[in-house]
């Protein structure tokens, strides 16, 4: 893999990916290919990107093997590593069903949903334990906004006038 060369069009596309890309992993791959094209050693590129030399060799090899495909698919990252989320779809399904309804209907003594209340309801319905972070992630993926309700009326601080501009504030 000493002589690794890219076409002019590929160089332009890879630079665009490095400049404007969304996926950090694809940006890394594009940068590695550009640096290898410039003649930098596999060891230098791997040290710069914080990956092993074997990883750089695999990226370059895979890029060369998929010569007939579009550049975007040649550096595309596969499935993310790790176990797929199992409880997130359950949480999303329950939240979609109850989000527009009054929490008092389900035995809660509140007017708006909170993360702990949703967590409790999801656990009751699915008989599976899940964390508040999962509920927050489900709410975020459903694009719901939530804020913990303030149970006490807000009172002005004795020093509110100073924070608003000092003694000269009206």
Q: Residue 66 belongs to what domain range?
A: 8-74
Prediction pTM value: 0.50
What confidence score (pLDDT) does residue 1 get? 47
Provide the number of structural domains found in the chain.
Answer: 2
Q: Are 62 and 101 contained in the same domain?
A: no
Nearest Cα residue to 64 out of 54, 53, 75: 75
Q: Are 62 and 19 contained in the same domain?
A: yes
Q: Distance (Å, rounded) from C-alpha 21 to C-alpha 16?
A: 7
Q: Is residue 104 part of a domain?
A: yes
* Inter-residue contact 60 to 10 (CB < 8 Å): no
Give the tens place of pLDDT for each residue, 112-139. Answer: 899 999 999 999 999 988 999 999 999 9
Domain end call among 74, 105, 122: 74
Q: Is residue 80 part of a domain?
A: no
Q: Are 54 and 95 contained in the same domain?
A: no
Mapping DSSP to helix (H, G, I), strand (E, B) and coil, where does residue 95 land?
A: helix
Q: Are 58 and 13 contained in the same domain?
A: yes
Q: Is residue 57 part of a domain?
A: yes
Q: Distance (Å, rounded) from C-alpha 81 to C-alpha 123?
A: 27
Alpha helices in 38-169 (DSSP H): 42-49, 53-65, 71-74, 87-98, 115-126, 132-141, 160-163
Q: What is the mean pLDDT of residues 142-154?
A: 73
* Inter-residue contact 15 to 37 (CB < 8 Å): no
Give the tens place of pLDDT for each residue, 11-59. Answer: 999 999 999 888 888 999 999 999 999 999 999 999 999 999 999 999 9
Q: Is residue 160 part of a domain?
A: no
């Amino acid at each position: 893999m000493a002589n690794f060369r890219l076409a002019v069009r590929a160089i332009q596309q890879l630079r665009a990916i490095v400049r404007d890309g969304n996926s950090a992993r694809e940006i890394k791959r594009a940068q590695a290919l550009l640096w290898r094209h410039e003649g930098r050693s596999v060891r230098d590129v791997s040290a710069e990107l914080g990956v092993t030399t074997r990883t750089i060799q695999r990226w370059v090899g895979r890029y060369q093997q998929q010569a007939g495909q579009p550049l975007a698919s040649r550096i595309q990252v596969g499935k993310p590593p790790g176990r797929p989320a199992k409880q997130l779809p359950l949480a999303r399904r329950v939240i979609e069903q109850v989000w527009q309804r009054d929490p008092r209907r389900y035995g809660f003594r509140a007017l708006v949903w909170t993360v702990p209340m949703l967590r409790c309801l999801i656990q009751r319905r699915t008989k599976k334990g899940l964390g508040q972070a999962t509920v927050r992630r489900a709410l975020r993926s459903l694009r719901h906004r939530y804020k913990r309700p303030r149970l006490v009326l807000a009172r002005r601080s004795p020093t509110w006038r100073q924070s608003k501009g000092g003694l000269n504030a009206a």
